[in-house]
Structure 1
């Protein structure tokens, strides 16, 4: 069992009727394993008790118990059976099973022991064939779930339960430990439904792990591991294990439709793998012997005939292959040439000419160039793919796959480093485009792929990856700046979150987050140059708006600077407008400098907006009546109506919005545009653009 979180010593052992629990033997993210004794039979058992957070409601607990009982009916020599299903005294679901003290597959080193690896794979595939035929898919085949009994027989544990704990069949990597994602097929990593072929993919990972001693894909976190299973090419085995490569290629195919169709087909393919990669007559006989042992008795007569033929043919083949391939001559002129290296999988390789002469001597061969390496062919393919823009897709024909294969073939090739840097630069350009077009997840994936490529090719500290990160830092900063220009704090914070998920660095993220949080929300101050304003949103339109009407002092500065004559502020029929004229300087009541400027005509207000806009280099105007309804409420000692830009009638009159101290009605009314009113002021807005 994978050790995720230890059982604390101060936690009491669970109480289960019919069992005596002695100690903890394992702990995982979903359960704790205890060693106990089943009192009725006097036998040691392992008891798996689910954690409270694993099955948080009664429905999920009952579903778990039903599925556990279904799995308990599986009876196969390579499946760990379930003895009992029930609940602890505290109501937590549990099931008991045989206690297997010989450890799990992850604790064994089988490198160089292909015989043991084959035996384990046969047992696991036999177990899966049995379970799949009964409609049960394991969904979590991994080294920790392959246990051994006292005779060394492999048994598959946690069958059909591991990923049914309330997750359902659509499982993302968010809820899984690295131990699971290390064996996860691409369709499961993408959160898609899985079938029996998912288990066969996991068996392929186990096969690689037993043969090589490491996992085929390695990453620091679960998400990166899952991405590698989805996108990275199938790795190449060491030369001594290349006879396993076709089996691995099919087992680890990215598409489920290209894998083995069922466990029986995979078993058959396993039996066809040459034993230990032996060559020549002895190797052929050993391989044949392995296969004959699996045949029924009635097939032995025909098999013996095949064996005799194999000896004769093998002797001839060994004599034919006594000299290496590049000792052969080609062409009509008799000039010897180097033989071609193995053609990269999926690529068209060079073809050799017809043999014109018998093999030349080894001494003559020394004068010839060495055969071209596989790396050269992969590099040629990668350069073509880079020119065509096929960086990471389509599968089987992209620069990413070709360069990884080139690295495995010859890590010291002189052109390999620059080619890898060129791909990283191409991924950087793609990430910039994706981020600018509003697809930060694609940009993050590109950076992750570049990081993995650099790490797997010893270029993690190289200038190409550093440049990639610098470019993404600038791209995110530009995104925050665009969001600030649109007064969109949410967009800016999304850009910062993308930077955080990309791992661009704490200092960069902190700086960008400070910039993002400085972007005002509706009702907050805009800051910057010009009049003190707040952000106002109306549908998809954004405005900057003054908090209050233009003050008497502010209007006085305009009037003095432009020598603008005051508008009349008496009723047209009043005789007092001649003998005691009123205007903004003398509205008929006492005002302070901060009070709203009144007795200012609509034309005066519009002229003030133009004058102040020229001074600030910004475009100010009066609000429409609809916009005015969204402006912040004015706080002043004397409430006034406010001019807005709307017309009344034939536009010989203008509208003032809002109630004033003179008129309690808030309904807009037409007023003469060239005259001032002692209860009408104004304030300015400026356009900030649309969403």
Structure 2
């Protein structure tokens, strides 16, 4: 059942964005400035420790200023005493959308740098985040990442013991070994979490995550950092140092990490001799054999060169965002051409999957933008329902698209009820139609639609009356009358 939107003075609440154990987040418009915001509202103010922790988070984040840190606009309480904070609405999703799909090294490192720059500001204030994970790194747009959710951040200047007795905090799949063991932690625990995220961005998977909490913790304590594939080997020292189990072997702070990123070597390029299998000139006999071999193998080699060029061009188009246009010169078309040359080619199959995920990310971003602009079902082919629907054509179980359509249905339901209360039947029917476009099986919207149907037209009293049958006219009499004229 869709929760009832809260009444927040000074804000128009549109729909639910998310809900956790302690708080829920609503999309709203700040009436005074007419800007979209995300309002984080505590579910219950009865527990004073939770309330104080929530308020502390708000003041902590509000005191930080950096493009890579979420911006807080307002902190206040509802009449029932529950505190809330209004922050910028970031509609591009989070880093979990890339899970299972390795990013190009340059993009993964760009994300690492942005988060490290934001964390440097956090650490300079004597704070550590303690819950750096993909879900807490929001995408403001295609190129900018924002750190959010400081709910378990701690102030090192006030409290150096950052865990309760025997209670671990943070997300196990991204927690440092010392954090998982409930030991005292410092800023280097955030750097470890950042290393796990970098590894996941580069390889598409988190090698520490297991089916149980205990096994996940054990993996952090005992598994060494995995060996990267040859094309990423220049990043191995960086990953090794970020994920060092010994605190003293890690980067001491974010600024040292940023300096190391500036000194990273370029991606390795295998020498020509190695690419040709290590052969070298060994005289005329070798040259003769090589010439004969090349002549026999030339058709296959030419095909391989064409394949390599096609894949290389496809990857360039993918990097440039030319996913499906222009016609016959885009990443999708070229990857399909590569499969025509070499059916089952792994790079081509992976490339098509990356194109698919990039298109999904673009549509999700546009859908969230249109949702924030209240363009739910209009104009045609450029609205939130359309873009969420496009995502589902490629990934029918995409949770963000399905949740987006559910949010649209919830918003439309609320607006329809408001219109009904104002006796604005036309607006109510329009909002009901929008909601059912997003969620055709929504029971409450369907019920409202039935209630708001216009009554069927009937003939008016002044219409020409039908001729009545003559009195005392039975069927037998009418038969004989017709028979005899």
Q: 1:277 to 1:29 in 2, by over 3 A?
A: farther
Match of 1:26 in 2: 18
Q: Which digits, 9 at most, give the CA deviation of each residue in 1:74-100, with x for residues without a partner? A: 110111111112223332222111111
Query: For residues 176 and 192 of structure 1, what CA distance do their matches in structure 2 show?
Result: 11
Name which of 236, 249, 252 aligns with 1:245: 236
Alignment check: 8 A CA contact 1:36 1:44 kept: yes
The 1:112/1:172 distance shift into structure 2, 3 A limit, reads: farther
Cα gap change, 1:172 to 1:238, in 2 (>3 Å): farther
Residue aligned with 2:185, SS: coil
Correspondence for 1:139? 130
Question: Aligned runs of 1:360-379 on 2, under 5 Å?
Answer: none
Which whole-Å CA distance do the structure 2 matches of 1:181 and 1:98 have between them? 28
- Pick from 73, 77, 101: which aligns with 2:67? 77
TM-score, scaled to structure 1? 0.37
Do structure 1's residue 120 and structure 2's residue 114 form an aligned pair? no
Match of 2:194 among 203, 206, 210: 203
Conserved? CA contact 2:167–2:182, under 8 Å: no
Structure label with greater radius of gyration = 1
Structure 2 unmatched ranges of 5 or more: 281-285, 290-485
Residue 44 in structure 1 maps to residue 36 in structure 2: yes
On the 8 A contact 1:189/1:227 being kept in 2, the answer is no
> For 1:83, what is the secondary structure of its paired residue?
strand
1:116 deviation in Å?
Answer: 1.0
- Take 1:322 and 1:237, find their aligned partners in 2: how far apart are those partners? 20
Displacement of 1:45 after TM fit? 0.4
Distance 1:59 1:29 in 2: 14
Of 239, 249, 254, the residue aligned with 1:258 is 249
Deviation, 1:32, is 1.4
Give matches, 1:410-449, under 5 Å.
none
Equivalent residue for 2:82, pick from 84, 92, 102 = 92
Q: Does 1:234 align with 2:225?
A: yes
Question: Which ranges in structure 1 are unaligned for 5 or more consecutive residues?
Answer: 1-7, 281-317, 328-360, 364-691
The residue that corresponds to 1:449 in the other structure is none
Q: Which of 94, 101, 104 is 2:94 aligned to? A: 104
Structure 1 residue aligned with 2:47, among 47, 57, 70?
Answer: 57
CA distance in 1, matches of 2:112, 2:216: 23
Task: Return the offset for 1:60.
Answer: 4.3
Q: CA 1:32 to 1:173, structure 2 compared with 1: closer, same or farther past 3 Å?
A: farther
Task: Report if the CA contact (8 A) 2:29-2:35 is conserved.
Answer: yes
**Pairing 1:194–2:185 present:** yes
TM-score, normalisation: structure 2: 0.52
Partner of 2:264: helix, strand, or coil?
coil
Q: Offset at 1:18?
A: 1.8
**Residues 241-390 of structure 1 correspond to what in structure 2 (within 5 A)?**
241-280=232-271
Q: Take 1:273 and 1:41, find their aligned partners in 2: how far apart are those partners?
A: 44
SS in 2 for 1:37: strand
8 Å CA contact 1:184, 1:201 repeated in 2 = yes
Provide the C-alpha distance between the structure 2 equivalents of 1:275 and 1:158, rounded to a whole number of angstroms: 34
Whether contact under 8 Å (2:22, 2:43) holds in the other structure is yes
CA distance in 2, matches of 1:139, 1:236: 26
**Partner Cα distance (2:277, 2:255) in 1:** 38
Distance 1:182 1:63, change over 3 A: closer
SS of residue matched to 1:41: coil
Distance 1:187 1:171 in 2: 14
Q: How does 1:281-680 map to 2 (within 5 A)?
A: none
Which residue is 1:483 aligned to? Answer: none
User: Which residue of the partner structure matches residue 658 of structure 1?
Assistant: none
Residues 324 and 188 (structure 1 numbering): CA distance in 2 closer, same or farther, change over 3 Å? same
Aligned length: 283
Mapped to 1, the partners of 2:8 and 2:15 lie a distance apart of 13
In structure 2, relative to structure 1, the CA distance for the partners of 1:120 and 1:173 (3 Å cut) is farther
Q: Does 1:156 align with 2:184?
A: no
Q: Distance in 1 between matches of 2:209 and 2:77?
A: 38
Which has a greater percent of helix? Answer: 2
CA contact (8 A) 2:75 2:83 kept: yes
Q: How far apart in 2 are the matches of 1:248 and 1:266?
A: 11
CA contact (8 A) 2:72 2:86 kept: yes
Residues 145 and 323 of structure 1: CA distance in aligned 2, closer, same or farther (over 3 Å) = same
- Tell me: CA distance 1:214–1:83, structure 2 relative to 1, closer, same or farther (3 Å): same
Q: Is the 8 A contact 1:15 1:89 kept in 2?
A: no
Tell me which residue corresponds to 1:169: 162
- Note if contact 1:176-1:222 (Cα within 8 Å) is conserved in structure 2: no
Q: Deviations over 1:623-658 (max 9, x none)?
A: xxxxxxxxxxxxxxxxxxxxxxxxxxxxxxxxxxxx
Cα separation, partners in 2 of 1:322 and 1:62, compared to 1, 3 Å: closer
Match of 2:429 in 1: none
CA 235–210 in structure 1, closer or farther in 2 if over 3 Å, else same: same
Quickly say closer, same or farther: Cα 1:66–1:323, change in 2 above 3 A: closer
Whether 1:66 aligns to 2:59 is: no
Would the alpha carbon gap of residues 186 and 171 (structure 1) be closer, same or farther in structure 2, given more than 3 Å must change? farther
Indicate if the aligned counterparts of 1:237 and 1:245 stay in contact, CA closer than 8 A.
yes
| Partner Cα separation in structure 2 for residue 19 and residue 203 of structure 1 | 35
> What secondary structure sits across from 2:174 in the alignment?
coil
* Secondary structure, counterpart of 1:277 in structure 2: coil
- Residues 173, 189 of structure 1: 8 Å contact kept: no
Aligned 8 A contact 1:14 1:89 in 2: no
Per-residue deviation, 1:105: 0.9
Matches of 2:207 and 2:199 in 1, distance apart?
A: 6
